[in-house]
């Protein structure tokens, strides 16, 4: 067991200014949870049922290795469905070993796309070991997990199999993308299809194909039958060539819900992230070529907040991996082409007039944290239906808004053990 890596996040109102852009109208305060031992996980799928947290898949080690022998070792795949009771902070484990490998293998994968829709957690794709083919693959599965039933089964050491259904669809052969929902439509953003052992020489030992797409579809689910319907894809080989990015629910001026996509890797001709923010709405996809995001380009914990009075949208990124790093001593932002782990907390603001700016918050994480971590709300009483915090519904005082759970703790900024 590892020391519980979750941080309590508190919010208070603020009117100050940052060194690089205007400070948001709030401040953050982070406190580590102590005296609790819980599993270390990252790159997982997450759902919740009341005060219970549910984790599926992901990794139990840190950053993947860079050679053919240590890329994604099987022993560090998460072989359990994990339930955490946040009232007692007790952890329960449900082994996947009793499930058929065809069902269990995708549940052991990493960087799958997922979304909780009411009682069901939907998981798509993911990268991991396929026991049938005896090789690493990107899975083409859609898995439906009945959250309350699986939570209760794990906590009572009962079989989880009756509460899990799975189908396959080649359009869903994706890892490293993001899944979200607008209205009745699901949106599968970007990602790639990686087949074979990581870092082995190219074809035929591995192949990698970026999706270069935003995929839109509906899921038909009557509790027994599961199907993907109304599938369509929007392709852009220049701007959608991304994976391992941040995608956040956002609110647009006027109140419409949309998705904001930030960062992602890698560019065609250089191992650097993309920096142009993308907005996905029911009316289409738009790329903001007028702004170059400076910080947190790789999947990390994030907090979305909308100001209904001024119609400003704030997305706060907690650490992660970044093209730029802020030095609080010299108060300078420095480019690092190796794209390091960072401890910075930054807020990207989209103003009502469409302009975008970033602010480095005066608070830093206690280490090189945040990459592949998850922000989990402590309460939804202040959120819109799309889980964006409604700023003016927050109490005008220090308020506990949630937790940062899991992720990678790096020991150095660039490719050191984690």
Respond yes or no on whether the N-terminal peptide bond of residue 204 is cis (omega within 30° of 0): yes
Q: Closest Cα partner for 369 from 335, 345, 342? A: 342
Domain boundaries, the chain: 2-405
Q: Write out pLDDT tens, residues 298-317.
A: 999 999 999 999 999 999 99
**Is pLDDT at 190 greater than 80 in this prediction?**
yes
Measured CA to CA, the distance from residue 14 to residue 206 in angstroms comes to: 50
The position carrying tokens 């629910």 is 249
Respond yes or no on whether the N-terminal peptide bond of residue 266 is cis (omega within 30° of 0): yes
Mean pLDDT computed over 328-339? 90
DSSP string, 346-381: EEEEE-TTS-EEEEEEEEE-SSB--BT-EEEES-ST
Sheet holding 226-235, edge to edge: 178-182, 185-189, 213-221, 226-235
DSSP string, 57-81: S-BSSSSPPSSTTTSS-GGGB--EE
Q: What is the mean pLDDT of the chain?
A: 92
- Are the CB atoms for 281 and 258 separated by under 8 Å? yes
Measured CA to CA, the distance from residue 352 to residue 408 in angstroms comes to: 35
Counting Cβ atoms within 10 Å, is residue 183 exposed (0-12), middle (13-18) or buried (19+)? exposed
Q: Write out pLDDT tens, residues 70-83.
A: 567 888 899 999 99
What band does 329 get if pLDDT is binned at 50, 70 and 90?
A: confident
Q: Write out pLDDT tens, residues 24-60.
A: 999 999 998 887 888 999 999 999 999 999 999 999 9
Give the per-residue pLDDT at 33: 84
Tell me the sheet residues that pair with 3: 37
Counting Cβ atoms within 10 Å, is residue 132 exposed (0-12), middle (13-18) or buried (19+)? exposed
Give the per-residue pLDDT at 3: 30
**Is pLDDT at 18 greater than 80 in this prediction?**
no
**Is pLDDT at 387 greater than 60 in this prediction?**
yes
Three-state DSSP state, 205: coil
CATH number for region 2-405: 2.120.10.80
How does DSSP classify residue 107? H
- Are the CB atoms for 183 and 106 separated by under 8 Å? no
**What does the block give as tokens for 51?**
């005060």
What band does 230 get if pLDDT is binned at 50, 70 and 90?
A: very high
Q: Pinpoint the alpha helices (H) of 108-200.
A: 147-155
């Amino acid at each position: 067991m590892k020391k519980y890596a979750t941080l309590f996040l508190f919010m208070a109102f603020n009117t100050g200014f940052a060194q690089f852009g205007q400070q948001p109208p709030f401040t953050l305060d982070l406190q580590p949870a102590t005296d609790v031992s819980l599993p270390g996980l990252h790159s997982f799928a997450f759902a919740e049922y009341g005060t219970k947290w549910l984790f599926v898949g992901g990794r139990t080690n840190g950053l993947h290795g860079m050679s053919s022998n240590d890329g994604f070792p099987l022993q560090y795949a998460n072989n359990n469905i994990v339930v955490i009771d946040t009232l007692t902070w007790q952890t329960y484990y449900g082994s996947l070993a009793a499930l058929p490998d065809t069902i269990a293998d995708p549940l052991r994968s990493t960087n799958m796309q997922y979304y909780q829709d009411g009682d069901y957690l939907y998981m798509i794709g993911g990268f991991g070991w396929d026991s049938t083919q005896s090789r690493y693959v990107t899975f083409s599965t859609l898995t439906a997990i009945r959250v309350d039933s699986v939570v209760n089964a794990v906590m009572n050491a009962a079989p989880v199999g009756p509460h899990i259904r799975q189908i396959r669809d080649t359009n869903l052969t994706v890892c490293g993308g993001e899944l979200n929902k607008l209205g009745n439509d699901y949106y599968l953003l970007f990602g790639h299809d990686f087949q074979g052992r990581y870092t082995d020489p190219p074809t035929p030992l591995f192949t990698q194909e970026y999706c270069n797409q935003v995929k839109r579809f509906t899921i038909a689910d009557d509790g027994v039958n599961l199907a993907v319907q109304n599938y369509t894809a929007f392709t852009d080989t220049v701007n959608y060539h991304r994976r391992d990015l941040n995608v956040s629910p956002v609110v647009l001026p006027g109140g419409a819900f949309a998705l904001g996509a930030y960062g992602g890797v890698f560019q065609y001709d250089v191992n650097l992230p993309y920096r142009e923010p993308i907005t996905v709405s029911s009316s289409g996809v738009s790329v903001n070529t007028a702004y170059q995001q400076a910080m947190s380009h790789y999947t990390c914990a994030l907090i979305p907040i909308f100001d209904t009075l001024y119609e400003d949208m704030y997305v706060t990124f907690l650490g992660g991996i970044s093209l730029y790093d802020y030095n609080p001593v010299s108060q300078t932002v420095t480019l690092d082409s190796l794209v390091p782990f960072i401890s910075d907390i930054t807020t990207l603001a989209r103003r009502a007039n469409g302009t975008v700016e970033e602010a480095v918050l005066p608070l830093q994480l206690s280490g090189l944290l945040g990459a592949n971590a998850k922000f989990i709300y402590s309460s939804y009483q202040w959120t819109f239906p799309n889980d964006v915090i409604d700023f003016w519904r927050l109490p005008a005082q220090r308020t506990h808004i949630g937790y940062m759970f899991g992720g990678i703790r790096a020991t150095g900024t660039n490719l050191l053990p984690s």
